Structure 1
């Protein structure tokens, strides 16, 4: 089977002037008459930009002014992910091709303004010349300026002679009318005041001694509860209040050492909280535990006249029968 040849490509290669190189790329130059974009070799052959950055730069140059070129818009247009596109945009910013600034609009809105320059070097030269001269500052160029370098890409070179590049100044943020600051409601709940440590009615020497010994002995049951002398003196009234309410030492020890957090950073604070929040009520007295006395119940009686039941302490007649007898009398 013979090898197929593309006759049109063969004739196009034959029309290339000059000697044909034995290897490498060959250019078939067809002049554009519409829908083309001029791209300089300084961008197309940039030695430091990645291929993704060069491609995005060429794509942005081909778009009309006002087109969205953010990360979301480029991700929806191309198969590259947000990470690659964001990295490419940062490369273009670092080399002066792209500038993104945040401007404040009316009614408190904020937008991102993107300015693309097809010749960053020409902008720098234009700014330097403007500083040396007394000419007025240039205005912001809102349309893309398609100005090729002296050696443009062969596939995108029109026959028209481009105009001289104009410097593109940095965009000025849009000012808005001053508004009073808006105070947003706080999302955090107000801090509750710390409850005071309970105190007994009378801190006797016996209660003080028992409470101090119980606090100092806690580290034998939980090694995390190592208290200083100052902390023991501070917590003594709380333990004395428990002892005054007839709480046993075992009950107090279980309440203070059960389910300790890991790690325990502030043992004195934890004991203070538990002594305050878990304080039991005083034991009720004997009279408080006695069964309530029931009110006396009036017994039922049978009426001697109509034999109906009625409540009364003495037998006799009901109310209706008594009324009849009184009327008859």
Structure 2
């Protein structure tokens, strides 16, 4: 059974401006006419707030004035438990979205007001002075439209006195400064480290006319496999050294063509820049030589053979036959004793 298509969704997708992305979310924006709340991206995309805190903030912002937003009241409205709601309220309070203010009523009673600010960073900006409020003039009757708007009469000129050098009256200061405070303060700081320069296009170590001819033919033939990669002659001459470097490293032309034409973005606005990036970033290493593939020779280990002691027939390791260590020590001790006895006999004989 075929999958049933949603005709309304298909019609809505057809009305989305621009080409549809091949991956990621697709937004169908239908304007709201009633029952909607404006939420800033600084809250919806806050990097340090949990999704529960963002959802609780949106729920609080959508409620009218005077609604109770305590932990138990929110737990009765939401599916989250009291612990998660309490943790979310603490997050919102830490970032300034939720504030608790103690206030004293005229009767002397002290109460705590819960204040939610949809844009807490705006509270830190300098506030503009409010314009002076003038008493509103009575509205004319609908049937009696005024023929002319009365203009204020000019101020009377003071009569000339004995002192005509009096300074003129100082005009009142303007209501707004010449350079008002900015209405938006960016939350993301400007980048401090410059981007590294792009890597240069690879070039062959030994360019030859055969490599240039094969690289030019491969780049000119790409439009048969991908019409988006229709290149100009200037772009082809610029990209020829990169393809020649691939061919010099014994890369098969089919492998180069597959690397350059697979998984192209849609729409492709700059084909030459994409090919330059792929030729530079995906360059394979040179093929190893025959001596590089030869297994290294294992070091030879010299094993000292076993020998049999001439005196005690004990086995011991030595490159030459002879006596074991104990027998050598005994022989040295015996020879030393005999030498000492012989020297003492010679001393007695001389005496």
Q: TM-score, normalised by structure 1?
A: 0.46
Higher relative contact order (CA 8 A, sep 6+): 1
Q: TM-score, normalised by structure 2?
A: 0.43
